[in-house]
Structure 1
């Protein structure tokens, strides 16, 4: 099977969707599928040099929407070379262009919305939502309506997607989603992380690893950490991720006012062995997001046996809670403080059991081999629909 993944950008700093495309494609390729990517990046984008899949960079896209005059003609001309296309995300020209090129053709296309229909966006950005309504009927509504299937990564995402627009019609399919288990030596990876950040040795680390963005609840985490930091002098918060919106300076000022700036380390984006080393060095991953479709970073933490302290707006929270692989609370200051305090008051034996549960939960539910099988079954079942 030849699969074309369409996406706005393959820049690893753009978040979880491109990491999911990369990992899923590599596994599918090992099963005899051929995966390629069409994106709106400039052909000179530096991250293309290290991306492991064949990429057709058809940009640069214009404005945040990413319009490129090259995208649709290229896709129309080359569609016959692929058995299907999978559009990743909405609200960008990569998905709308996929619809323009492939509707009413023999090449079926599918869509991963990646949580972009979550009603949190409607509540948080009402003016933006009104703007989206202006082009929803003639753009993304049709993208979803005409797809052979719209893939959701969990039942929670599927149900939430129905709440953003009353004009909504698509063939919904829930597929398993996941990530690959880390490769390499955990001890050496931990050492590599601590060599890069030696001030963190012998600290009890709470790890936030994601984009620094308002929807991730970074401000709540800093406030909550300030409330528990005095319980143990060795407690330290690691905030790892790219500052996409320029929010970090304000968050650092917040930490300064709360008197905990010396107990927070800002690492920037981590990758490779250093990233895995951060998971292994941390006691827990903390992600108090206001909206999180799946949270690949949550699955990655559990793959390392690191429990996760998350909000109930991370869509896989039910699976985490059922497996006792972490702690879950509301996405507010009380909830975030609650999960930090609960972890700190658990006995060593309880903490160890949760580490074991986290590893088991990943293996049984979020390991990528199961996800790849689920995706292939969904493609084959719905291609001729």
Structure 2
């Protein structure tokens, strides 16, 4: 098959959707499927050149200019009208088109170019229909409902399938926007297994963060954002720090909204400035070294569609400490690969307190369960087969219908 992915950006800081495309395209390539990725990025954006797969960047403004003008609605939305023309010309050259994400101009361009065409397309919502957003951003929700009526709603209704990463995400989507019409398919999600030399990666990470030295640590690796529960984690760490004198906390990830300085100041006021470390965004060996070198991974998120970083921790045989707002929490709980709690202060306190009380044997058993859970549920080489079967079966059905019509 020849597959086209549409996504607003290939910037790694965009999170799981980008990482998922990178990993799935690599898995598709070894199965002799072709793929293209079109984005709203500018050709000069650094991640375009550094991307592990070819990117077709159609944006008109470089990243630094977009950042300075991001308060302008059309800049924030990614207004790029030439994407519509590009899709009308090139989308029919592909067997399948996959639209990744909602609420941006890439989605609007897909709606305008695909809905009235004969192109078979699918939509990955990537958790963007979670009702959590309605509760936390009622004003944005009003405007999203208006957009839904004219853009996202018709796009989903006309899709050959709306793809969900897990059953929890599919059920939550029903409480999103009205009217909701979709041919739902749970296809799973995952990432590639970790590669490289473990010790080299750990050394690369610790060299980049000399203040940590050889101390043990818990790892948070995600965006520094209120949605991720960073403030709850710092408070919880302060509450249990005396019970874990040999354990530091690493808060790794990009600070997209300028919140990190406030969090650092609060940590210092709690006497934790030497126990919490802020390396920024980690990539490559440094990222994998952080996973391998940690005692456990923690993500106290208020909303997490899937959590690629959680799966990456599992691949590295690390127990995961997460909330019930991470949509794959049931798989984690059922397999004993980590600890689960509510996404409030008491819940995050309990995660750290419960982990501190685990015996060495219990931690080893949990680490083994983490690796087994990754292999059973989240290895991309397993999940990509279901994706291929889903979009491939639709393609075969379409070919059969075309043949029948020609026979008439």
Q: What is aligned with 1:40?
A: 40
Q: Distance in 2 between matches of 1:155 and 1:47?
A: 32
How many aligned residue pairs are there? 385
Q: What is aligned with 2:369?
A: 357
Q: What is aligned with 1:265?
A: 277
Q: What is aligned with 1:255?
A: 267
Q: What is aligned with 1:347?
A: 359
Structure 2 stretches lacking a partner, 5+ long: 62-73, 399-408
Compute the TM-score of the two structures, normalised by the length of structure 1: 0.98
What secondary structure is seen at the aligned counterpart in 2 of 1:298?
helix
Determine if contact 2:145/2:178 at 8 Å carries over to the other structure: no
Matched, 1:331 2:343: yes
Could you tell which deviates more after superposition, 135-144 or 102-111?
A: 102-111
Could you give the per-residue CA deviations for residues 143-201 of structure 1, whole angstroms, max 9, x where no partner exists? Answer: 11111100000000000011112311010000021001111111221122112223323
CA shift, 1:16, in A, is 1.2
Determine if contact 1:35/1:53 at 8 Å carries over to the other structure: no
Structure 1 stretches lacking a partner, 5+ long: none
| Selected match of 2:95 from 79, 83, 94 | 83
Could you give the per-residue CA deviations for residues 257-289 of structure 1, whole angstroms, max 9, x where no partner exists? Answer: 222122110000000011000001100110010
CA shift, 1:382, in A, is 2.8
Matched, 1:174 2:186: yes
Q: What is aligned with 2:404?
A: none
What secondary structure is seen at the aligned counterpart in 1 of 2:330?
helix
Determine if contact 2:191/2:308 at 8 Å carries over to the other structure: yes
What secondary structure is seen at the aligned counterpart in 2 of 1:4?
strand
What secondary structure is seen at the aligned counterpart in 1 of 2:298?
strand
| Selected match of 1:233 from 242, 245, 253 | 245
Matched, 1:185 2:197: yes
CA shift, 1:202, in A, is 2.9
Matched, 1:21 2:33: no
Q: Distance in 1 between matches of 2:87 and 2:123?
A: 16
Q: Distance in 1 between matches of 2:313 and 2:54?
A: 29
Written as runs of structure 1 = structure 2, the 5 A alignment for 1:147-166 is 147-166=159-178
Q: Distance in 1 between matches of 2:366 and 2:222?
A: 22
Could you tell which deviates more after superposition, 115-124 or 54-63?
A: 54-63
Q: Distance in 2 between matches of 1:141 and 1:65?
A: 18
Could you tell which deviates more after superposition, 102-111 or 67-76?
A: 102-111
CA shift, 1:380, in A, is 1.5
Determine if contact 1:36/1:54 at 8 Å carries over to the other structure: yes
Aligned-residue Cα RMSD (Å) equals 1.1
